[in-house]
Amino acid sequence: MTGVSPRAAAAVAWHASSAERPAVVTTLATRAAVHRDAHLAKYTLACLDVAERDVAAAHLYLAAAAYLGAWWDAHGTPAD
């Protein structure tokens, strides 16, 4: 989901099947872990935690994390 628009990244996460979700989670967690701004890591972790607890709405939280990660990829951080 890197190198795509925020809307496209969110769509990939939103439409991921239950079999595809572990790969989406890995991608989101990896992006957040290596990102230089800790806010992305905190937001992503919050989304992943609630997605695990609310399985029926997991697609919403994964899409939110994917959107923000892609937005940050496109806009960078102020120090970039």
Residue 28 falls inside a structural domain: yes
State which residues form the domain around 68: 6-73
Flag whether 79 is in a domain.
Answer: no
Q: Assess whether pLDDT exceeds 80 at residue 78.
A: no
pTM to 2 decimal places: 0.89
* Residue 7, C-beta contacts closer than 8 angstroms, at least 6 positions apart: 67
Q: How far apart are CA 67 and CA 47, in angstroms?
A: 11
CB 12 within 8 A of CB 24: yes
Examine residue 16 and state whether it is found in any structural domain, yes or no.
yes
The predicted pLDDT at position 1 comes to 64
At residue 73 the predicted structure's pLDDT band, cuts being 50, 70 and 90, is confident
- The domain total for the chain is 1
